[in-house]
Amino acid sequence: MVDNIVRIKHDRVENTVSTDYPGFHNDNEDYSWDLTKFKSKFDIKISYISERVANFDLINIDTSVSNAFRRIMLSEVPSVAAEQVYIFNNTSVIQDEVLAHRIGLIPLKVDPDLLNWIDNSVDEKDKFTDGNTVVLTLDVSCSKNPNASKNSTDPNELYKNSNIYAKDLKFEPQGNQLEKFKSPVVAADPNILIAKLRPGQEISLRVHCILGIGADHAKFSPVSTASYRLLPTIEITEKIKGEDAKYFQKLFSTGVIGINEQSEAFVKDSRRDTVSREVLRHERFNGKVKLGRKRDHFIFNVESSGAMPPEEIFFKSVRILRNKAEYLRNCPIGR
Amino acid sequence: MVSKRRSSSVSKHAPASKAHTHKPGVISDDSFNDLLKPVYKGKQLTDEINTAEDKWNLLPAFLKVKGLVKQHLDSFNYFVDVDLKKVLKANEKVLSDVDPEFYVKYLDIRVGYKSTSKTKDLILPPHECRLRDLTYSAPIYVDVEYTRGRKIILQKDLEIGRMPIMLRSNKCILDGASEARMASLDECPLDPGGYFIVNGTEKVILVQEQLSKNRIIVEADEKKGIVQASVTSSTHERKSKTYVVTKNDKIYLKHNSISEEVPIVLVLKAAGIISDLEIMQLVCGDDAAYQDLFVVNFEECAKLGIHTQQQALEYLGAKVKTMRRAKLSILQEGVEAIATTIIAHLTVNDLDFKEKALYMAMMTRRVIMAMHNPKMVDDRDYVGNKRLELAGQLMALLFEDLFKKFNTDFKANIDKILRKPNRASEFDPLLSINIHSNNITSGLNRAISTGNWSLKRFKMERAGVTHVLSRLSYISALGMMTRISSQFEKSRKVSGPRALQPSQFGMLCTSDTPEGEACGLVKNLALMTHITTDDEEDPIKKLCYLIGVENISIIDSASLHSSFGVYLNGTIIGTTRFPSKFVSSFRNLRRTGKVSEFISIYTNLHQKAVHIATDGGRICRPLIIVENGISKVKAHHLLRLKQGKFQFDDFLKQGLVEYLDVNEENDCFIALYEKDLSKHITHLEIEPFTVLGAVAGLIPYPHHNQSPRNTYQCAMGKQAIGAIAYNQFQRIDTLLYLMVYPQQPMVKTKTIELIDYDKLPAGQNATVAVMSYSGYDIEDALVLNKSSIDRGFGRCQVLRKNTTVLKRYPNHTKDIVAGMRVDSEGEPIFQHQSLGPDGLGEVGTRVESGQVYINKCVPANATESILQQGSTGHRETPVFYKAPEPSYIDQVMMSVSDSDQALIKVLLRQTRRPELGDKFSSRHGQKGVCGIIVQQEDLPFNDDGVCPDIIMNPHGFPSRMTVGKMIELISGKAGVLNGSLEYGTCFGGSKLEDMSKILVDKGFNYSGKDMLYSGITGECLQAYIFFGPIYYQKLKHMVLDKMHARARGPRAVLTRQPTEGRSRDGGLRLGEMERDCVIAYGASQLLLERLMISSDAFDVDICDKCGLMGYNGWCTTCKSGEHVVKMTIPYAAKLLFQELLSMNIAPKLKLGDVFN
């Protein structure tokens, strides 16, 4: 039998590598890949899901697969971001390159499936079409506010358009984009500050947004972060009672350890633990508790940057992984 | 501690509604006002006052009054307000040799304002001077009184020149300007000032360290058995050095203008002390041991048969080296020598040599003391024996020299006119004064811009006095203002002057010194120091007599040494029998403000002396006065300080705080902390972290680091790219490095807040994982996260200036800027793509290598006059852009310079993202280059999904012992989790234990080590990884500026070998050692290829018969082409043969067959 608990010691982590594949163990169990067996064991539990964040568990799956999902979500799920910024006028203090960089990093609310990939073999002038490019414009000029009170020092009151936000980027539909996209393209977070202006200053520019992947540039990554942690396990090997139990409880995150009627400490909810390993510092609990993490229980946390709901990003990562596998299978080496 | 911080962090966000009132008349300085606001940096008025902790508030109060570069400003202010008038007084009259009735007398001198107006003259604002390559200066006005015919005329506000003005001095238009006013002048309110702008460049006059003048220094050479007391006398007229030395255990007086050493007894006799008994009493007192050592000296004088003053003076006069025109008698020479040459800083009135005799006797006594006890010598390196020379003093020396020259020229001019027998009109000397007005202006400008201080009076020729203010970063500029350079030679191999002196404590920074040749010679001021300016001596002298000092002129020599001598600036003025009473009453007068707070007084028990110093250039620092073991600064004082009702000066006036210089510090017991106070303690340190200077103050937890690491950081902090000033985008500097997204450090220090590093930071808080990764991290290389770079980590801008002047020529032609050229389709040609119709690069356009950004043309004919010339055409001399990477045009400025020529400045900008080989460093002297840039998904991550920005190899820690860096990480991590900025102040700061507590409370391990998952396999890493934010600086060394390769390229003219260096597109040298390798390996063909064929191969014709070189298949020596053979040799070899020929050595080549 394979031990699937990663052992958390005070100075090191043990048993981190999974060994449930054929040929590693000498016992007679069959570790070869079996879809039905996987299907019977595999489980997904969704604990929280919202427009931006999803938190779900993948249970009984190998590290390699779940890590692939994580990696793909970070860098291979395509999304739309500004790529070319054509600056007609920029008299603000912020330099053209920096302004372009800032605009590039603004997450846009566009369904990436509605756009095609840019064909880089095509000539520069014809590269951008309504099928692969979203055009945004920004035309702001700052002026004095005539109604401002005389001794005001607040720039928001003194000037008009002194702050440029992501919401000031205006969508310019090309071709049939208006029907195709249903809703106009906007920034996912409208209040990202792009630049500050003072009276007389002006920014006028046009942005071409295209499809890309996070591996090329972080701006194309559809997630703020996508990562997982392993499910913590706490095993109390010797009874902890009374004052000790109360003290013991404090060494974990709130709600992890409960105290029953016999004033004995018991593990209430190990999922909530952050594994701060504080308990291992205390002499009096030496040998009384074993910390660990389940190696095949992944608690995923996906934070979307706004273009797509997090679950969709995950589904796409699955699809991409499947395509990769498909590709490999079709390679001469796979046959 | 912890709970207090929390409560304050909440209130931080509440608006500071309480308006704080200023004292009338106090200069308002907005940046400092923050420090005194009710809620500032997490502290508020309602917080309980704890004297032990809150006494540090005296430091911001001190800096509010004194500023960071107050030493420069004070010195310059003293110069323009006081010293200038003294110089004028010393040279007030210009007389004529021709007309005895004639005179011109200077009455008053002012800089920057006229007598009629109370306000300052309007001068060009400093930033305009920077941009237009002008000098930031103000007119110097004098009031003169002179004769015209029989009348005496008073002329006011006569301009005699322009004085470069130190920025932020009291003559500067920025003095007392509010932040809004500064902004309207395009000036940064955080800029410390203290420098000059000459011809558009910012120049600093570094503080110069010297051995103190007019003081006796006793030294001993144990090997040679020599003891000497020397004194460098410095007056307005001359500088000279007088020695009292031992030679064969006898004592002599030595001086540069006396040809040989003169027995000291003889000199004393010449100075009017004829009685041997009196000499013995003056020198030795009644100490038998001293008498025994000294008695031998009488013999020599007696042998010479000198008994009277006259004899002695004649003897002395015969030895004097003179260069006087008018011959004096020997006696007169002797009198003159005693009166003016020896110990020149003492002035002799009515031939009363008593004072000088006493001075020499004291010098002799010091020699005797050192002979008797070798420990009684002085230490040259002791900070108390040093004086710092600042901008004001140097400017005063220069101005006096120029003013004297101005007056002699003026006089010569007047004499010339007055000599004319019959003048048409009445002579008005003012008509000839203005002719020379340029001399003072240009003399001052030249000296400051070149740094060559040449003073005729002292025959002084000093180079490298001024330096260009380094604007690499805010810190480098600030560091330059506090720098002290030593006059000591760099090449000499003595460790003494370079060593850290215990007396530097609190005065000079213990960490900030460069490595290498200037190590220990270039120092920096500590944070809370003041450098004194000269104070009047006479009132102090009178005061001393009033409080019980017996006047030296009425003391009988027998009792001189029975009581304590009182010395004023090294000169004995009297004695006191109750030194401690005298010193304490003097100090009381100082504390009550009756005498200047910068006058120091201390007793020296070894010398039985009380020294009072009023001279300028002493370093001193404020300390809290302690009486009876209780600090005089109480909680209510500090409360009033916080409320803004108290200024630092109030603490001085009330006698709570006083300034001590190094010598007086030696006389005091100073407690570091309030807990150390006891009965005998006299002073309390205001804040221990002030032992460090401004630059070393950036380091968090420096007291946990190995000391050299702090020194390294001091050097590197100056190279860090960050924000330079609020006006950084207005500046057009030769080279400017800026960071796109600078951040203030997570772990700050109090110094950081005081010097406003948090407002102009140079670095970013990077999340660092201390682990090994990929093998591209050996030898301090760093692994960077590509996504972090994509998001703007370490992004910086490089701005480079190019200046062009459009000249005018004497034949009325001038340089022009031509428009762009277009091709057949009307598109501009490639070279002119970035040009606008005016022939200048358009702002915002991109320029690539080979493109033009100023299309300048010079006239084809600039010498002949227009009338006779044929062609009026122009020749294109465009300014090309040549660099591997393109730039953008940031600014184009057109203006007119001083000489009415058009001045064009173009600023080119590059925005760079970090790449392989760029240099980074933390604040702990740990530098490294980027070794690899890794995709985010490959990097390890923690439970929260946080990836590191930087991975640092753990091998960087054990040998460097930068524990401070580890604590910075933990504090930074705690701060991130807690939403607070933590402090890593030296000898204080957030406690590690508290930080660990926060980590545990937030669910992290106490040690700062996290369990990470490998980004590549997805599995847990088997070791816990030290993981958290560390402030990282990007240093100015970037590969883009260093990368270099060449296949073919330019060659040197003389040797035809490839040129050297990147700037000249040079070749990479195969040096001697590489050559040795190739020889050892036996690759002769490779050697030939590298050393000749790829370098300077040259085909020569050699005559096999005579062995000399010919040409064109003809031997000029043999007059035949019969034996001429062609062969290839290095051009350098050919050159050598020809050079040898030119000095009559004929190198002959004997040729052999290759296939023999």
Domains of chain A as residue ranges with CATH: 5-76+225-237+288-300 (3.30.1360.10), 79-217 (2.170.120.12)
Sort out which chain B residues have CB atoms less than 8 A from A227's CB and list them.
941, 944-945, 1013
pLDDT at residue B1, as a whole number: 36
Which 937-956 residues of chain B touch chain A by CB within 8 A?
937, 941, 943-946
Are B729 and A16 in contact (CB < 8 Å)?
no
pLDDT of residue B1151: 87
- Which one of B888, B1006, B1017 has the shortest CB-CB distance to A278? B1006
Pairing of strands B216-221, B137-148: unpaired
B62 or B1070, greater pLDDT: B1070
Within 8 A by CB and 6+ apart from B1071, the residues are none
Q: What is the pTM of this model?
A: 0.89
**B1018 contacts on A by Cβ (under 8 Å):** 63-64, 66-68, 70
Q: Do B941 and A227 touch (CB under 8 A)?
A: yes
CB B216 within 8 A of CB B234: no
Query: Catalytic annotation on B1099?
Result: no
Under the banding of pLDDT at 50, 70 and 90, the label for residue B860 is: confident
Contact B134, B200 (CB under 8 A): yes
Of all residues in chain A, the one with the smallest CA distance to B912 is A97
Of B56-60, B178-182, B373-377, least confident by mean pLDDT is B56-60
Residue B312 near residue B266 (C-beta atoms within 8 A): yes
Question: If you average pLDDT over residues B432-459, what whole number do you get?
Answer: 81
Put residue B708 in one of left, alpha, beta given phi > 0 → left and psi -120 to 50 → alpha: alpha
Token pair listed for B189: 């309110």
Alpha helix ranges (H) inside B148-227: 179-184
Instruction: Indicate whether B123 pLDDT > 80.
Output: yes
Q: Which of B409, B649, B780, B1041 does the annotation list as catalytic?
A: B780
Q: What H or E segment, with its residue span, contains residue B454?
A: strand B453-455
CB A297 within 8 A of CB A100: no
User: Which stretches of B718-817 are DSSP H helices?
Assistant: 750-754, 786-790
Return d(Cα B29, Cα B190) in angstroms, integer: 10
Cβ-defined contact of B1003 to A11 (cutoff 8 Å): no
DSSP structure class, residue A148: S
Spell out the per-residue pLDDT of chain A, length 335, in tens: 568 899 999 999 999 998 888 878 777 778 888 899 999 999 999 999 999 999 999 999 999 999 999 999 999 999 999 999 999 999 999 999 999 999 999 999 999 999 999 988 888 888 888 889 999 999 999 999 888 888 888 888 889 899 999 999 999 998 888 888 888 899 999 999 999 999 999 999 999 999 999 999 999 999 999 999 999 999 999 999 888 899 999 999 999 999 998 889 999 999 999 999 999 999 889 889 999 999 999 999 999 999 899 999 999 999 999 999 999 988 887 66
How far, in Å, CA of B1033 to CA of B918, rounded? Answer: 11
Q: How far away is chain A from the Cα of B30, in angstroms, using its nearest Cα?
A: 15
Distance from CA of B1019 to the nearest CA of A (A): 6
- Rounded Cα–Cα distance for residues B136 and B196 (Å): 7
Between CA A285 and CA B1038 the distance in angstroms is 53
**Nearest CB to B1022: which of A12, A75, A90?**
A12
* Per-residue tokens: B557: 């020599």
Q: Is the predicted ipTM greater than 0.90, yes or no?
A: yes
Handedness of CA B33, B36, B37, B42 (dihedral sign): positive
CA distance B716 to B814: 46
Reading the block at residue B725, the tokens are 């000033």
CB atoms within 10 A of CB B1091: 17
Is B301 in contact with B269 (CB distance < 8 Å)?
yes
Of A257-261, B98-102, B229-233, the poorest mean pLDDT is in: B98-102
Q: Which two tokens stand for residue B22?
A: 């200023």
Which token pair is A58?
A: 């993948």
pLDDT attached to residue B563:
87
Looking up tokens 């082409």 gives: B1121
Does the distance separating the beta carbons of B1021 and A13 come in below 8 Å?
A: yes
Find, among B963, B475, B510, the residue nearest to B763 by Cα: B475
B 824-863: CB under 8 A from A: 844
Please report where in the chains the tokens 């005061």 appear, as a residue: B543
Write out chain B residues lying below 8 Å of A217, CB-based. Answer: 790
Judge contact between A136 and A206, C-beta under 8 A. Answer: yes
Nearest to A5, CA basis, from B1072, B1020, B970: B1020
- Shortest distance between the Cα of A182 and any Cα of chain B, in A, equals 30
Sign of CA dihedral B42, B47, B49, B53: negative
What does the alpha-carbon distance between residue A201 and residue B352 come to, in Å, rounded to a whole number? 77
Cα A211 to Cα A125, A194, A319, distances in angstroms:
18, 22, 17
- Comparing CB atoms, the residue among B935, B1005, B1022 nearest residue A215 is B935
- Asked if B1023 and A70 come within 8 Å (Cβ–Cβ), the reply is no
Q: What is the pLDDT of residues B316-368, one digit of tens each?
A: 888 888 766 667 788 888 888 888 888 888 888 888 888 888 888 889 998 98
Which member of A8, A93, A95 has the closest CB to residue B911? Answer: A95
Reference B896, options B130, B132, B125; nearest CA is B132
Q: How far is B940 from chain A (nearest CA, A)?
A: 11
Give B1044's Cβ-side CA count (13 Å radius). Answer: 14
Residue B1087 pLDDT exceeds 90: yes
Strands (DSSP E) found in B113-215: 137-148, 151-164, 196-198, 201-205, 207-211
- Please report which residue ranges of B616-669 form alpha helices under DSSP H: 635-642, 648-653, 662-665
Q: Do A227 and B945 touch (CB under 8 A)?
A: yes
In sequence order, the β-bridge partners of residue B229 are: B218, B244
Question: Could you say which of B792, B844, B936 has the minimum Cβ distance to residue A101?
Answer: B792
Q: In this structure, how many other beta carbons lie within 10 angstroms of the beta carbon of residue A74?
A: 30
B332: left (phi over 0), alpha (psi -120 to 50) or beta: alpha
**Phi, psi for residue B550 in degrees, rounded to 5:** -85, 125
Neighbours of B24 (CB within 10 A): 5
At which residue do the structure tokens 């309110």 appear? B189
Q: Could you count the other beta carbons within 10 Å of the beta carbon of residue B1049?
A: 12
Inter-chain contacts counted by CB atoms under 8 A, chains A and B? 108
Q: Is the model's pLDDT at B46 over the cut of 60?
A: no
Judge whether residue B866 has pLDDT over 70: no
Domains assigned to chain B? 216-378 (3.90.1110.10), 696-731+738-794+916-1034 (2.40.270.10), 796-912 (2.40.50.150), 1062-1142 (3.90.1800.10)
Taking the C-alpha atoms of residue B413 and residue B435, their distance in angstroms, rounded to an integer, is 10
Instruction: Identify the closest residue of chain B to A90 by CA–CA distance.
Output: B844
Query: With an 8 Å Cβ cutoff, are A225 and B1023 in contact?
Result: no
Q: Is residue B9 predicted with pLDDT exceeding 60?
A: no
Contact B1020 A13 (CB under 8 A): yes
Nearest to A166, CA basis, from A139, A141, A189, A143: A189
Q: Identify the band that residue B1102 occupies on the pLDDT scale cut at 50, 70 and 90.
A: very high
- A309-316 long-range contacts (CB < 8 A, ≥24 apart) are A309/A51, A309/A54, A310/A49, A310/A52, A310/A53, A310/A54, A310/A223, A311/A49, A311/A54, A313/A73, A313/A77, A313/A222, A313/A223, A313/A226, A314/A54, A314/A56, A314/A69, A314/A73, A316/A73, A316/A77
Instruction: For the beta carbon of residue B865, count every other beta carbon within 10 angstroms.
Output: 11
Alpha-carbon distance A217 to nearest alpha carbon in chain B (angstroms): 6
Q: A240-243 long-range CB contacts below 8 Å, 24 or more apart?
A: A240/A264, A240/A265, A240/A285, A240/A288, A240/A289, A241/A265
